[in-house]
Amino acid sequence: MKQILLVLSLIGILIGSCTSKEEARFQIKEGHFYLDKKPVQLICGEMHYPRIPKEYWRDRLKRAKAMGINTISAYVFWNFHELQPGEFDFEGQADLAEFIRLAQEEELYVILRPGPYVCAEWDFGGYPSWLLREKGMVYRSNDERFLAACERYIKRLGEELSSLTVENGGPILMVQVENEYGSYGDDKVYLGRLRDMIKDAGFNVPLMTCDGSGQMEAGHVAGVLPTVNGAVGEDIIKSVDKFNPGGPYFVAEFYPAWFDVWGTPHSYRDYKRPAEQLEWMVKNGVSVSIYMFHGGTNFSYTNGANTAYGYAPQPTSYDYDAPLGEYGNAYPKYYAFREVLQKHLYKDKPLPEVPAENTIIEIPELTLSESAPLADAFNERINSERPLSMEDVNQDFGYIHYQTVIPKPVKGTLTIKNVRDYAVILLNGKQIGSLDRRHRQSSIEIDVTEVPAKLEIVVENVGRVNYGSDILNNRKGITEKVTIDGKELKGWKNTPLPLHKAPVGSYHYSSDLIKGVPAFHRTVFNLDKTGDTFLDLSKWGKGAAWINGRSLGKFWNIGPQQTLYVPGPWLKEGQNELVIFTLEDTGARTVKGLNAPILDQVGVDINSDERPKRDNSKKPILDKGDIVLTKSLEKEFGWQEFTFENAVTMRHLALETVSAFDDGMPCLSELDVIGEDGKPLTKDTWKVVYASSEEEADKKGYADCLVDGNLGTYWKARSASQPQSVIVDLGEIMTIKGIRIMQPYQKITGKVNEFRIYARPQFFLFK
């Protein structure tokens, strides 16, 4: 009898499983999405819970619903939750389950995008910095150590969120596997492992990948819905049909705007064309996710950086010129999109009224009349022979302080090899200069007369790379060594200064104002009422701020952002405390709370220098005996790599062009050298010391562009005559296995065909 009951029980389980599968609430079939057996067109808006004060989560969700959005698309940021290996945080601002439940309460569905890699202009693309402590670990790959860390994270995420899938009564419709992987690699084993981890974590809903049209082949994986990013119009249909004929058609990232970069104007895109593109998708049954619908703010130093065109970090504001601005303000784009959605999707059901704007206040001028020295923040001090990186001292964000003693008088060039990313240098307590990775700066002149001299270097992590191959090269602080005229300085004290949390401890604030060096400045003020406001720091230099212990993020006078967003719920009726840390001090000590942000005001960049003049009166002697490579390039854009017959010891490299396509003036975008480990070497100490010819109009065509790490610039000779030559000083003698060269992507004549490489440990001779 027991056996019969067991068999009947098993049959019941099997029937139940089949019925459950057949009756899944959310399904993909017949080229459409179906929810509760009815076809549904997903109109998604991307929102990121860490970039929105928790107190405003519901407010922003209501505004999404009022625009016509029916689904929230949300990245999950691994480094926001697993702060140390195995130590997870899903509380407070990190309570993602609560964010998802609020979405459901507002009648919104959710697409979950857990990565583990997310990009998102977020530090390290969402990866936790402690991964960088693992020597040789390869991220975004089938590296077992990396996958073990991914599995622990995804399993815990399942414990937090799998009960919130639509099949379990929650709002989660789909879960994304990785993120735009086709732009990075094509390892199907890696993608398959992640796919299986997500399933095993209990996410019992369809899975998806997203990639640009040209990268879908590399980025999709079996058993997962392929979707396209960035495509519009008929290209959507063509792109998806290659891998999933007949659909469903889903643009997982539609870009009506773009993110900002420090030192460049605010990104802006008129709403008219994006509104037309959205209307085409809605009318043609294409599901779409607006990236971003609402960007928000990179509180607590979480911004990322890109390196395709030189190191380019993002600011604190992630306004994005999205339909809903940084503080929940509706731009004209919001109302244009709302009109499209009302017209085509909600003909018989008026959209909810747009919520009234939140209260905005102004704060009269405040004077920060108290200062405390940076040393008050010193806690753990670690001794080492060479400087330690942030990762060496188990630090994620913020700043790190280095100190050593120079025992004898010396005058020469102080070089910080591969500094990441912004360094302020002090000698005997006085600031003598700063170095900015954006400008590939690594050295200043130093004159030490009073000895023993205290040398201090404060380095800021301005943002880890979040996109491209440089995610593998993401250590912060002083990552190599410090020298004076080539002689290495040793014996360092390393002091971590995370400072992304409010400065706490025994800070000795006094009315003796500290000027000209990194320090903390403070004021206490009273408010009769609270509301959103915008702290005007346009007269200040570079640093960070906290209100009532909450991080407002970083400011930098180079812009385009000149204000820091202060959320109303973070202010108090009565007494409030404002603390500002100055890394670069201009002497400003007053601030106001404005009633609108300043997001498009580029300021003075003290580290941006004019290119030095070169003496071309003498010509180099390029000896045939120094030739290490003679080759020809293909004309198309892309890296072309060449290996020397034998490894070569060199400090000075000469590139000589022999011929060019279309008989134009020779031009090249970028030159890298390949080290003994087979990887391109850092170029921050390189100098172009000679160019036979270079175009100088509007700073375009400089030979410096050949080694600036920016694929959008290029060297161009002023003459079509051949040969033309450029000589580069690599800064020290190195063993080089080969080179790689990039042709310009621009449609110009003169792309180099035949070329030669000369190498010398010593200087090239001139005549």
Share of the chain above pLDDT 90, in %: 83
| Rounded Cα gap, residues 120 and 619, in angstroms | 48
Residue 642, classified by CB atoms within 10 Å of its CB into exposed (0-12), middle (13-18) or buried (19+), is middle
Confidence bin at 698 (pLDDT 50/70/90): low
Confidence bin at 513 (pLDDT 50/70/90): confident
Contact 554, 397 (CB under 8 A): no
Contact 453, 432 (CB under 8 A): no
CATH code, domain with 742: 2.60.120
Catalytic residue among 180, 326, 670, 694: 180
Task: Report strand pairing: 542-547 vs 492-497.
Answer: unpaired
> Could you confirm whether 276 is annotated as catalytic?
no
CATH code, domain with 230: 3.20.20.80
Same domain, 179 and 202: yes
| Rounded Cα gap, residues 479 and 474, in angstroms | 10
Contact 455, 404 (CB under 8 A): yes
- pLDDT for 613 equals 66
Could you read off the pLDDT of 225-277 as tens digits, one per residue?
999 999 999 989 999 999 999 999 999 999 999 999 999 999 999 999 999 99
Catalytic residue among 46, 178, 253, 694: 253
Q: Check pLDDT > 80 for residue 104.
A: yes
Same domain, 633 and 507: no
Peptide bond into 332 cis (omega under 30): no
Confidence bin at 767 (pLDDT 50/70/90): confident
Residue given tokens 């040793």 in the structure block: 490
Neighbours of 105 (CB within 10 A): 11
**Within a domain: 213:** yes
Q: Check pLDDT > 90 for residue 445.
A: yes
Same domain, 540 and 686: no
- pLDDT for 676 equals 87
Residue 428, classified by CB atoms within 10 Å of its CB into exposed (0-12), middle (13-18) or buried (19+), is middle
Task: Tell which of 438, 463, 490 closes a domain.
Answer: 490
Q: Check pLDDT > 90 for residue 14.
A: no
Same domain, 123 and 217: yes
Q: Check pLDDT > 90 for residue 618.
A: no
What count of Cα atoms within 13 Å lies in the side-chain half-sphere of residue 671? 27
DSSP string, 670-697: EEEEE-TTSSBPP-TT-EEEEES----G
- Residue 42 token pair: 């997903």
Q: Check pLDDT > 50 for residue 357.
A: yes
Same domain, 340 and 400: no
> How far, in whole angstroms, is CA 253 from its chain's centroid?
17
Task: Report strand pairing: 399-406 vs 492-497.
Answer: antiparallel
Instruction: Give the domain extent around 418.
Output: 386-490
Residue 385, classified by CB atoms within 10 Å of its CB into exposed (0-12), middle (13-18) or buried (19+), is exposed
**Within a domain: 8:** no
> Could you confirm whether 362 is annotated as catalytic?
no
- Residue 243 token pair: 């891998």
What count of Cα atoms within 13 Å lies in the side-chain half-sphere of residue 718? 11
- pLDDT for 18 equals 33
* Extended beta strands in 571-686, E state: 574-584, 590-594, 627-632, 639-657, 667-668, 670-674
**Within a domain: 412:** yes
Same domain, 199 and 334: yes
Q: At 525, which amino acid appears?
A: F
Neighbouring residues of 395: CB distance < 8 A, sequence distance ≥ 6: 129, 476, 477, 496, 498
**Within a domain: 379:** no
Same domain, 164 and 185: yes
Neighbours of 618 (CB within 10 A): 10
No. of H helices and E strands in the chain?
10, 44
Confidence bin at 741 (pLDDT 50/70/90): very high
Q: At 355, which amino acid appears?
A: P
Q: What is the DSSP code (8-state) at residue 620?
A: B
Same domain, 250 and 286: yes
Contact 387, 477 (CB under 8 A): yes
CATH code, domain with 547: 2.60.120.260
| Rounded Cα gap, residues 632 and 624, in angstroms | 18
Indicate the pTM of the whole model. 0.88
Q: Check pLDDT > 80 for residue 501.
A: no
Q: Among 707, 762, 715, 703, which residue's Cα sits nearest to residue 740? A: 707
What would the mean pLDDT of 281-296 be, rounded to a whole number? 98
Residue-averaged pLDDT of the chain: 93
What count of Cα atoms within 13 Å lies in the side-chain half-sphere of residue 450? 6
- At residue 160, the 3 state secondary structure works out as helix
Q: Check pLDDT > 70 for residue 334.
A: yes
**Within a domain: 609:** no
- pLDDT for 313 equals 98
- At residue 148, the 3 state secondary structure works out as helix
What would the mean pLDDT of 699-710 be, rounded to a whole number? 86
Same domain, 454 and 521: no
**Within a domain: 276:** yes
| Rounded Cα gap, residues 401 and 75, in angstroms | 33
| Rounded Cα gap, residues 618 and 528, in angstroms | 72
Q: At what angle do helices 332-344 and 272-283 cross, to 10 degrees?
A: 20
Q: Among 636, 639, 656, which residue's Cα sits nearest to residue 751? A: 636
Same domain, 49 and 173: yes
- pLDDT for 392 equals 97
Share of the chain above pLDDT 70, in %: 96
Q: Check pLDDT > 70 for residue 663.
A: yes
| Rounded Cα gap, residues 296 and 591, in angstroms | 22
| Rounded Cα gap, residues 218 and 215, in angstroms | 6
**Within a domain: 563:** yes
- pLDDT for 4 equals 32
**Within a domain: 472:** yes
| Rounded Cα gap, residues 319 and 598, in angstroms | 11
Same domain, 482 and 590: no
First CA to last CA distance, the chain: 104
- pLDDT for 10 equals 31
| Rounded Cα gap, residues 558 and 538, in angstroms | 9
Same domain, 544 and 684: no
Q: Which of 19-23, 130-134, 357-361, 475-479 has the lowest mean pLDDT?
A: 19-23
* Total domains, the chain: 4
